[in-house]
Amino acid sequence: MSTEKHLMWAAVLDHPGRPLAYRRIPVPEPKPGQLLVKVEACAVCRTDLHVVDGELPNPKLPVIPGHEVVGRVVAVGSTDLEEWIGRRVGVPWMGSVCRTCEFCRSGRENLCDQARFTGYTLDGGYAEYVTSDAYFSVPVPEQYAAAEAAPLLCAGLIGYRSYQTAGEGRLLGIYGFGAAAHIIAQVAVYEGRQVYAFTKPGDDTAQAFARSLGAVWAAGSDEPPPRPLDAAIIFAPVGALVPTALRAVKKGGTVVCGGIHMSDIPSFPYAWLWGERRIVSVANLTREDGIAFMQVAPRIPVRTSVQRYPLEEANQALEDLRHGRLTGAAVLIPPDGR
């Protein structure tokens, strides 16, 4: 280990609602079944904001946020994993599961009641090193630079699961055109679908960005689309968008809630749901999601728009995300990566 006295720099959340503290802490040691990953880049996700702001209950405290991690395996916790050393991997939101419950046994480990999550109930990637369960660590294509690959680990993976949940309809609406939307729009356009982008009202920059990625229409979320949609995905954590999206989809249409946290959904007339429309949430991701998307992304190829920040500026990156000052995704780069 090259780190002085086995210490590393990390941005640590001690108390929700307060800024992260940038300090030196011990490098974690991998346990059996785990990898030690030297972080090359970690993207900043809106879920990180929910953790930092205390909107997600019962985080591990103190905790290192971050669950869109790209790096190299430098050590392992058991001899059966030695072949992983030197591999380039991604560390996603899903950190560990029980492997024995009905959900795990049926390939739905994303619903495991004993699941633990990177950057929330396990330490994450706002650091120079992170430990990761080998089961959920995914290969990252070498064609991507680390910063460009990092958003694929959540914005891409959760976005892709949301996209698949939306079904095969040709007309797809996307509410909230941030990190996940700008990735999934590329997948949808590649597969011949029409993308209708909904942004904050008056956000001309986001609307132009959506059009540059192939959206056939882009406007504020307060505007109806020019035609009924087959499905809509809501990436913005705004419950009021659920009835709005229901009114935008045709009979038999699906509204997918793609975030782990959302404000309360207001009441709405049953007539807006009637006609076999449905509302469905997406919870976490499975190992298969990670493997599948990392094969799809380079084929298209998916390109990510990123803004790099030094790791010590994690609080600034979170603020820029909070206030909508980003186009694409913020990515933190540890000291050794600069």
Q: Note the pLDDT of residue 1.
A: 43
Q: Note the pLDDT of residue 5.
A: 61
Place of tokens 């909107």: 55
H/E stretch holding 185 reads helix 179-190
pTM: 0.89
* Local structure of 257: helix, strand or coil: strand
Q: Note the pLDDT of residue 328.
A: 81
* Local structure of 306: helix, strand or coil: strand
pLDDT tens digits in sequence order for the chain, 338 residues long:
444 568 999 999 999 999 999 999 999 999 999 999 999 999 999 999 999 999 999 999 999 999 999 999 999 999 999 999 999 999 999 999 999 999 999 999 999 999 999 999 999 999 999 999 999 999 999 999 999 999 999 989 999 999 999 999 999 999 999 889 999 999 999 999 999 999 999 999 999 999 999 999 999 999 999 999 999 999 999 999 999 999 999 999 999 999 888 999 999 999 999 999 999 999 999 999 999 999 999 999 999 999 999 999 999 999 999 998 988 899 999 997 65
Strands (DSSP E) contained in 126-201 are: 129-133, 138-139, 171-175, 194-199
Here the tokens at position 27 are 């490098």
Strands (DSSP E) contained in 77-176 are: 88-91, 94-96, 116-117, 129-133, 138-139, 171-175
Give the DSSP letter string of 35-92.
EEEEEEEEEE-HHHHHHHTT-SSS--SSB-----EEEEEEEESSGGGGGGTT-EEEE-
Q: Note the pLDDT of residue 338.
A: 57
Number of H helices, E strands in the chain: 9, 17
CA end-to-end span of the chain: 19
In terms of Cβ atoms closer than 10 Å to its own Cβ (0-12, 13-18, 19+), residue 106 is: exposed
* Local structure of 130: helix, strand or coil: strand
CA distances from 318 to 11, 18, 54, 127, 147 (A): 12, 12, 14, 15, 16
Neighbours of 290 (CB within 10 A): 25
Sorted by where each starts, the structural domains of the chain and their CATH numbers stand as: 4-152+305-337 (3.90.180.10), 157-281 (3.40.50.720)
Nearest to 128 by CA among 315, 311, 306: 311
